[in-house]
Amino acid sequence: MDRVDTKALLAGVDLLALLARDTPLQRVARTDGGEYAGPCPACGGRDRFRVWPAPREGPGRYWCRQCGARGDAISYLRWREGLGFQGGLRAAGRAAAGGGTPRAGCGAAAASRRRPAAGGVAGARCRW
Ligand SMILES: [Zn+2]
């Protein structure tokens, strides 16, 4: 596969819109380009899930202070849809192009669980 410019890819993805499909987010601060909070898509709660869609440095990112889920649009899509790295890049590409990413059920996530996912959110998969 050709080398993918993940930075450019991430710059084209509206992280807030992507996350807002799964959890209601409210703007809570103006720091670092704006901070949003809401229930965590993985572990719930009320406002433990934090999102910085347009920080001054780097791509938009999220962080759950409860379960520790964190990352950018690619890692979110990988986790949400049970994708490997390449699949995550393709999903981010679709999101950047404005295409929908139909919500994959847990069955789809399980079916694509061919490789063990790295990172702390793997265990939270399919709880929601
Ligand atoms: Zn969480």
- If you measure from the C-alpha of residue 120 to the centroid of ligand 1, how many angstroms do you get, rounded to a whole number? 10
CATH among 3.90.580.10, 3.40.50.720, 3.40.50.2000, 3.40.50.150 for 6-115: 3.90.580.10
Give residues whose Cβ lies within 5 Å of ion ligand 1: 40, 42-43, 64, 66-67, 69
Lowest mean pLDDT among 34-43, 74-83, 105-114: 105-114
pLDDT tens string 51-87:
999 999 999 999 999 999 999 999 999 999 999 999 9
The CA-atom distances, in angstroms, between 93 and each of 22, 69, 97, 104, 113 are: 19, 22, 6, 17, 21
Q: Can you give the pTM of this predicted structure? A: 0.73
